[in-house]
């Protein structure tokens, strides 16, 4: 049976792709060795520096974020190198598993899957490493499985306080262009990103933003690599080209996405995500449900993970929402399977879209017989209306 209206894609990525980006991608594929393509290449390579807030190069791969994880590791680390990682959830665990598979020695600082990384624990471990055997610290900025953010500036302060030379690598796959991020200011050496979330594109592009320190490490790195090699990318990238056939039409879309983010203004983008996250949390709290992230200072502005009461299956609830209201919500991953659902509120998203999303959740809770208090949607709407009144007042005063 045909489902009427638009599908609400409210997973934490891939996100809704706006019409402007779809139209930008809907062009004939150009010659990727032509001067016109070189202009496009330079436009996106330089444009992404403004999104990462970095001065060093950004390498763009036709790959998922998993590819960018691997590129970050194999370009800077040698087989057998010791890497310190922090367990914030499912995706930090996958990155650790990759490090193990490619011959590194990852050490996993244990977390509870309900908060970001503990900078003090990282500092203490680095202080104990007097021989400087640890070559890199890897953390996830926004853990997509739990809705918890790690304050990266605090991790940098911890590394500096320990006087440790380890590289700092950060996964921003579900935070880039949604949550404030500052590679150069925070002293990050390699940042990993992906196209399908805050950048508002389909899946298929991934990124490494790289510091001078990381480039120096790459010169002595003996790990096997070919496709992922920064060195092979750097030469062609200098004039806007790539050492292989790039994902041309995705690059059209990326150029448009960068323009859209700057038209809105990155600070406004971050404020919008903060507002929608706060409205969502107010709805969850009014329903009497539990936000998975237990540390308010680590709340995510990209998504909210919600725990259902014991004895209630989050996947059965998600199925009821999908079948009755044509809306997809994120599932619980690995040890959170069946226990939580995730509301994505990132990317090309506005107040009315959030109101529809939360209405679908509230109706779904009733259909799935999950015990809850009514009024979550109204709590969110009241907050959004209050914020709108405040913004309107500020605009009038400025005029």
Q: What residues are designated binding site?
A: 342
Whose CA is closest to 199, among 258, 140, 269? 258
CA separation, residue 375 to residues 5, 80, 286, 352, 357 (Å)? 25, 55, 6, 17, 14
Q: Are 343 and 365 in contact (CB under 8 A)?
A: no
Whose CA is closest to 72, among 201, 193, 153, 158? 193
- Residue 293 to residue 146: CA distance in whole angstroms: 6
Residue with token string 């890199």: 136
Q: Work out the burial of residue 26: count CB atoms within 10 Å of its CB; fewer than 13 is exposed, 13-18 middle, 19 or more buried.
A: exposed
Q: Are 173 and 144 in contact (CB under 8 A)?
A: yes
**Binding-site positions for substrate:** 342
Helices (H), the chain: 19-25, 35-52, 65-74, 90-101, 119-128, 152-161, 212-219, 230-237, 248-264, 266-287, 314-325, 351-367, 376-398
Q: Are 77 and 135 in contact (CB under 8 A)?
A: yes
Q: Are 377 and 355 in contact (CB under 8 A)?
A: yes
CA dihedral 88, 93, 99, 104 (to 10 degrees): 70
Which tokens sit at 271?
Answer: 């404020």
Q: Are 302 and 157 in contact (CB under 8 A)?
A: no
Query: Longest Cα pair distance anywhere in the chain, in angstroms?
Result: 65
Q: Are 143 and 293 in contact (CB under 8 A)?
A: no
């Amino acid at each position: 049976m045909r489902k009427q209206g638009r599908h609400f894609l409210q997973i934490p990525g891939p996100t809704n792709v706006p019409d402007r980006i779809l139209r930008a991608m809907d062009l004939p594929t150009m010659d990727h060795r032509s001067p016109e393509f070189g202009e496009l290449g330079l436009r996106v390579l330089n444009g992404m520096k403004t999104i990462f807030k970095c001065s060093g190069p950004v390498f763009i791969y036709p790959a998922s974020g998993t590819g960018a994880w691997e590129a970050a590791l194999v370009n800077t680390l040698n087989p057998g190198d010791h890497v310190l990682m922090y367990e914030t959830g499912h995706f930090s665990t996958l990155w650790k598993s990759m490090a193990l598979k490619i011959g590194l020695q990852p050490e996993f600082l244990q977390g509870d899957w309900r908060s970001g990384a503990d900078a003090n624990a990282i500092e203490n471990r680095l202080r104990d490493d007097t021989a400087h055997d640890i070559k890199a610290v890897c953390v996830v900025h926004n853990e997509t499985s739990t809705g918890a953010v790690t304050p990266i500036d605090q991790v940098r302060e911890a590394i500096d306080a320990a006087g440790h030379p380890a590289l700092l690598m950060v996964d921003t796959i579900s935070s880039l262009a949604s949550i404030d991020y500052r590679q150069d200011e925070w002293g990050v050496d390699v940042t990993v990103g992906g196209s399908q979330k805050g950048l508002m594109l389909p899946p298929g592009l991934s990124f490494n933003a790289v510091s001078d320190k990381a480039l120096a490490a790459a010169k002595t790195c003996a790990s096997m690599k070919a496709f992922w090699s920064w060195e092979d990318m750097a030469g062609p990238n200098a004039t806007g080209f790539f050492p292989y056939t790039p994902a041309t039409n995705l690059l059209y879309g990326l150029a448009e996405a960068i323009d859209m983010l700057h038209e809105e203004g990155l600070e406004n983008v971050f404020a919008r995500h903060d507002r929608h996250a706060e409205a969502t949390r107010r709805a969850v709290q009014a329903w009497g449900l539990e936000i998975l992230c237990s540390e308010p200072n680590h709340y995510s502005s990209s998504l909210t993970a919600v725990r259902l009461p014991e004895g209630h299956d989050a996947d059965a609830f998600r199925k009821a929402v999908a079948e009755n209201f044509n809306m997809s919500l994120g599932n619980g991953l690995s040890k959170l399977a069946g226990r939580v659902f995730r509301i994505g509120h990132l990317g090309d998203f506005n107040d009315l879209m959030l109101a529809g999303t939360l209405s679908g959740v509230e109706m779904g809770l009733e259909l799935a017989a999950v015990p809850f208090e009514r009024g979550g949607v109204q709590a969110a709407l009241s907050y959004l209306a209050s914020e709108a009144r405040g913004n309107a007042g500020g605009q009038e005063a400025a005029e």
